[in-house]
Chains A and B, each alone.
Chain A
Amino acid sequence: DVKVTQSSRYLVKRTGEKVFLECVQDMDHENMFWYRQDPGLGLRLIYFSYDVKMKEKGDIPEGYSVSREKKERFSLILESASTNQTSMYLCASTGGASSGNTIYFGEGSWLTVV
């Protein structure tokens, strides 16, 4: 079974703090994603990566950056957290056509910025 692991399930951070959300997948997938999920807005794509050190902006990249130094690990960085970044963050990965293009999700990280 594909496993996407998000290291932090619940975090509380202060406004202005730098926040790191870590994600690891164990299936040697090329593509990894970060989404955020908010009531009434659904899942929105923040950033994705299709290879090590490669990244592309999604629909809502403002206020976020990402890092992919190793194939299995994709990090989301909030340089200076703000209260409007309080949300559930979901990491996902896919192997592309070799896995039917199916995207698998982690359990989510609940971030509260106070």
Chain B
Amino acid sequence: EDQVTQSPEALRLQEGESSSLNCSYTVSGLRGLFWYRQDPGKGPEFLFTLYSAGEEKEKERLKATLTKKESFLHITAPKPEDSATYLCAVQAGGTSGSRLTFGEGTQLTVNP
């Protein structure tokens, strides 16, 4: 069974204080690892897809990395508008319909 565990559950940062969110996973043949951002009361917004160990992707203050067992979402010099819940999900190879298995998310708060 595919499993995704995110840590910490909640993270509070001061504006400009860089940090990382962790996503540990077990999956039978990784097809892709996905990061989403979710604001309160809204649907998840796609951020990144990582396909193989060693891959990195960046978008503004966010950088996602992938190893064979985990992924990190690095946030550099965060701003209050980066406050949201960040979700990690995995997609297994050979899965019909491209379904995702999600972690429970990390709730990030950035204080001004």
Which A positions have Cβ atoms within 8 angstroms of B? 4, 31, 33, 40-43, 45, 48-50, 56, 58, 90, 92, 94, 96, 100-108, 110
Q: How large is the interface on B (under 10, 10 to 19, 20 to 34, 35 or more residues)?
A: 20 to 34
By DSSP majority rule, is chain A's interface helix, strand, loop, or mixed? strand
Q: CA of A105 to CA of B87 in the docked complex: distance in angstroms?
A: 13
Query: Could you say which of B32, B87, B102, B103 contacts A101, with CB atoms under 8 Å apart?
Result: B32
Report yes or no: A43 in contact with B87, Cβ–Cβ below 8 A: yes
**B96-112 Cβ-contact flags toward A at 8 Å (1 or 0):** 11111111110000000
Contacts of B31 in A (CB 8 A): 101
Contacts of B100 in A (CB 8 A): 43, 45, 103
With both beta carbons as reference points, the residue of chain B lying nearest to A95 in the complex is identified as: B98
Q: CA of A31 to CA of B95 in the docked complex: distance in angstroms?
A: 12
Contacts of A49 in B (CB 8 A): 97
Contacts known (A41-B104, A101-B49); A108 close to B43, Cβ less than 8 A: yes
A-B contact count (CB 8 A): 60
Report yes or no: A100 in contact with B102, Cβ–Cβ below 8 A: no
Which B positions have Cβ atoms within 8 angstroms of A? 31-32, 34, 36, 41-46, 49, 87, 89, 91, 96-105
Known: A102-B34, A102-B46, A104-B46. 11 other contacts (CB 8 A): A33-B97, A41-B104, A42-B102, A48-B97, A50-B96, A50-B97, A101-B31, A101-B91, A101-B98, A103-B100, A110-B41
